[in-house]
Amino acid sequence: MTLLDFARGPALQAALIIFVLGAVWRIVGALTAPWRLVPANPREGALSPAVAALKGVFVKMWPHKPFQQAGLFTFVNGYVFHFGLAIVVLLFTPHILFIKGLTGLNWPGLPSNLIYMVAVITGASLIAGLVHRLRSPVLQLISRNDDYLSWLLTFLPVVTGLLATSHLGARYETLLALHILSICAFLIWFPFGKLMHAFLFVFSRGMTGVRMGQRGAEL
Amino acid sequence: MQRSQTLGEILDSRGVSRRAFLKYASYVSALMALPAGSAAAMAEGLAAARRQSVIWLSFQECTGCTESLTRSFSPTLESLIFDFISLDYHHTLQAASGEAAEKARETAMAENKGKYIVVVDGAVSTKDGGLYSTIAGVANVDMLRASVKDALAVIAVGTCAAFGGIPKARPNPTGAAPVDEIVTDKPVINIPGCPPIPEAMAGVISYLVSFGKLPELDDLRRPKAFFGETIHDRCYRRPFYERGLFADGFDDAGARQGYCLYKVGCKGPVTYNSCATLKWNGGVSFPIQSGHGCLGCSEPDFWDQGGFYRPLSTSLRDLGPALAGAAVAGAALGAGAAWASRRHQAAYVKEQAASEGGKK
């Protein structure tokens, strides 16, 4: 069995099973867990839980005015690599074919050269984010191994994907195998670390909105 | 034709001009990307060489490799190779049969000890002593071992000989193995393909005869001159891949426009061969040009890659049931965790209430 066969075969299968099992476990666990709301009546004029939840999700997508100056890089850079990752993952034809193979869903992709450009920007943005984290004393204090591992496992598929498409450093099939294996590592870690925020951020922000709304805080 | 004659003398007696001979040497040198001066060196080497004794062993195969070599569009080129070699044993091409044929092989081996080349097409059956494929009552594996004992080198022609090919495909009932798993003490050159490109076979044999050494090989023992680049790298449809223009089927608008065949399972990106440059039938076409994706036939285990029409970026396995099971298990675990949490919380509240009641 070649490295590519291993990557496309048992490695990918095991990684996807762990990913689905772990992600569903955490989502179902979060949704069916008891709501720990403050055992008090809502403040007069408080938002309804549904509106508060929606506001919590969407209003937090951009920082409040007092924080805009200080947090500008974090927000802009965060959007750059998140949108970059979304474009690369969802609009590169080989990736679409991979998703189609799993779900049957299909949609048109973007030209490969455009994807390469977006991937380079995404990689640069991820590096910038890491440098920012390492240079900020506050961020260093609140960073854990989970943060660095999650960063690494996000960065590796981007780099190996770029190397594979550029045929740089090794034979294409080796680079493709490494790219798939890096995705396997990403998928395995995803449900158990901070990468899970991709699914859970909606619930956590919504829940925060509900709690804040109940107290009558401005969202 | 006397064996003592040099190739130059033989070709001269056949009316092959020096100009034609040099053209052939230049062509082969160019095919193998040899340095500029190599054409003359190859011509001189070939002219001075004696006819190379070749024993061609056909094992678990379909004769497609021999057909490829002998029935190519430009027979003058490949027939020239038969002037360079003395094909002392070949099931399909030899006139002798039965004991006489086997005698010819043994005589050639004895007369050219340490100098003859063994060409093998077909995989070698190894299971149960190799009894699933025999010639004249001798198992292929035993005939191979006996034949290569005093050989100069071994050329495994075709994917079956080079990597096991279709006979080795799951479940491999005959224990089919590639030649280099059996022959470990002789130089082995693999020229895979189903079938291999005739020019690749002719080029390697010409190189061996003229220079008396092996051409540069890759990690799978394939000549880099013919297997140094992927089909995808040299494919004329590559620009469509870069532009994101793909055929979704074999009869859709994309297919009619000649778009890239990646989506319909083309294995060109991971297949090392010269089909896209040398092409077939005298340079007329190759599979992708004819509208079908590359099958990856010159790569190991190409038959077991999950299907010819499965795109390269997809999983080799059908994951649906496994992922559905994982989702159900995950949901059960999540619900179980939430239930345990609720129970714990209820017990805590009860305990707190009891504690507060006691204080009162």
The Cα–Cα gap between B233 and B135 comes to: 42
Verify whether the Cβ–Cβ distance A29 to B329 is below 8 Å: no
Which of 3.30.1490.20, 3.40.50.700, 2.60.260.20, 3.40.50.1980 would CATH assign to domain B52-209+217-225?
3.40.50.700
Query: Chain A, 29-58: which have a CB under 8 Å from a chain B CB?
Result: 29-34
Are A36 and A208 in contact, with CB atoms under 8 Å apart? no
Residue in chain A closest to B240 (alpha carbons) equals A111
A194 assigned to some structural domain:
yes
**pLDDT on residue B75:** 47
Domain residue spans of chain B: 52-209+217-225, 231-304
Q: Which residue of B270, B311, B319 is in closest CB contact with A13?
A: B319
Q: Is A97 on the interface with B (CB under 8 A)?
A: yes
Q: Is the dihedral of CA A64, A69, A74, A76 positive or negative?
A: positive
Chain A / chain B CB contacts < 8 angstroms: 132
**pLDDT on residue A148:** 96
A136 assigned to some structural domain:
yes
Residue A46 belongs to what H/E stretch?
none
Are B122 and B156 in contact, with CB atoms under 8 Å apart? no
- pTM assigned to the model: 0.81
A219 assigned to some structural domain:
no
A27 assigned to some structural domain:
no
The Cα–Cα gap between B101 and B103 comes to: 5
A31 assigned to some structural domain:
no
Which of 4.10.480.10, 3.30.930.10, 3.40.50.300, 2.30.42.10 would CATH assign to domain B231-304?
4.10.480.10
Verify whether the Cβ–Cβ distance B334 to A25 is below 8 Å: yes
Give me the tens of pLDDT residue by residue for chain B, a chain 360 residues long: 455 677 777 777 777 777 877 887 787 777 777 777 777 887 787 777 777 888 999 999 999 888 887 766 554 555 666 677 788 888 777 777 888 888 888 898 999 899 899 999 999 999 999 999 999 899 999 999 999 999 999 999 999 999 999 999 999 999 999 999 999 999 999 999 999 988 888 888 888 888 888 999 999 999 999 999 999 999 999 999 988 899 999 999 999 999 999 999 999 999 999 999 989 887 889 999 999 999 999 999 999 888 899 998 888 888 889 999 999 999 999 999 999 988 888 888 888 888 887 766
Judging contacts by C-beta atoms under 8 Å, the chain B residues touching residue A1 are 301
The Cα–Cα gap between B122 and B91 comes to: 13
A25 assigned to some structural domain:
no
A140 assigned to some structural domain:
yes
A28 assigned to some structural domain:
no
The highest-confidence range among A149-163, A164-178, B239-253, by mean pLDDT, is A149-163
A178-211 residue pLDDT tens: 999 999 999 999 999 999 999 999 999 998 998 8
Query: CA of B326, closest CA in chain A: separation in Å?
Result: 5
Nearest C-alpha neighbor of A213 from the set A59, A31, A48: A48
A6-33 residue pLDDT tens: 999 999 999 999 999 999 999 999 888 8
Strand partners, B280: B285
Structurally, chain A folds into a number of domains equal to 1
**pLDDT on residue B285:** 92
Radius of gyration of chain B (CA): 29
Average pLDDT over residues A139-154: 95
Q: Look up the domain containing A132 and give its range.
A: 3-16+67-214
The SS3 call for residue B177 is: strand
Range with the poorest average pLDDT among A90-104, A125-139, B341-355: B341-355
Q: Is A127 on the interface with B (CB under 8 A)?
A: no
